[in-house]
Structure 1
Amino acid sequence: MPSFTKKAIVDSFLKLLREKQLDKITIKDIVEDCGINRNTFYYHFDDIPALVEDILKAETERVISEHQDMESWEEGFIAAADFALDNKKSVYHIYNSVNREVFEQYLNNISRDVMKRFVEQVSEGIGASEEDKALIVEFYKAALTGMVLDWLGAGMQYDPRQVIRRLGKMLEGEIEAALKRISRQGI
Structure 2
Amino acid sequence: MPTQTTKQILGQTLKTMMQTTSLDHITIDKLAEAAHINRNTFYYHFDDIHSLLDWVYQQDVIVALRRESSIDHWQEAYQLMLTYIATNRQFCQNTFRSLSRSALDDVLYHYAGEMVTGVVDSIDPFTPPLLREAIKNFYGHAIAAQVTQWLENDLQESQASMIHKASVMLDGTFAHIIKQGKKDRFYGDR
TM range (shorter): 0.7 to 0.9
1:186 and 1:34 map into 2 onto residues whose CA distance is 55
Task: Give the 3 Å change call, closer, same or farther, for CA 161–47 of structure 1 in structure 2.
Answer: farther
- The one-letter amino acid paired with 1:132 is L
- The one-letter amino acid paired with 2:141 is A
Deviates more, 1:40-49 or 1:157-166: 157-166
Gaps of 5+ in 2: 186-190
Match of 1:90 in 2: 91
For the pair 1:12 / 2:20, whether they are aligned, the reply is no
Give, in angstroms, the shift of residue 25 of structure 1.
1.3
Match of 1:132 in 2: 131
Match of 2:114 in 1: 113
Using the aligned pairs only, state the percent identity: 23
Match of 2:178 in 1: 179
Gaps of 5+ in 1: none
Give, in angstroms, the shift of residue 84 of structure 1.
0.7
Q: Once superposed, what is the RMSD of the aligned Cα atoms? A: 2.2
Match of 1:162 in 2: 161
Q: TM-score, normalised by structure 1?
A: 0.86
Match of 1:75 in 2: 76
1:6 and 1:134 map into 2 onto residues whose CA distance is 33
Q: TM-score, normalised by structure 2?
A: 0.85
Give, in angstroms, the shift of residue 161 of structure 1.
4.3
Deviates more, 1:55-64 or 1:43-52: 55-64
Tell me the SS of whatever aligns to 2:18.
Answer: helix
Aligned length: 184
- The one-letter amino acid paired with 1:140 is Y
Identify, as 1 or 2, the structure richer in helix: 1
1:145 and 1:6 map into 2 onto residues whose CA distance is 27
- The one-letter amino acid paired with 1:18 is Q
1:64 and 1:8 map into 2 onto residues whose CA distance is 21
Match of 1:41 in 2: 42
| Contact 1:81–1:160 (8 Å) recurs in 2 | yes
Tell me the SS of whatever aligns to 1:23.
Answer: helix
| Contact 2:62–2:107 (8 Å) recurs in 1 | no
Q: After superposition, what is the alpha-carbon deviation per residue over 1:42-90, rounded to whole angstroms, capped at 9, x for unaligned?
A: 1111111111011112124323313445422122221111111111001
| Contact 1:63–1:79 (8 Å) recurs in 2 | no
| Contact 2:15–2:91 (8 Å) recurs in 1 | yes
- The one-letter amino acid paired with 1:154 is N
Tell me the SS of whatever aligns to 1:112.
Answer: helix
| Contact 1:81–1:161 (8 Å) recurs in 2 | no
Match of 2:28 in 1: 27
| Contact 1:112–1:138 (8 Å) recurs in 2 | yes
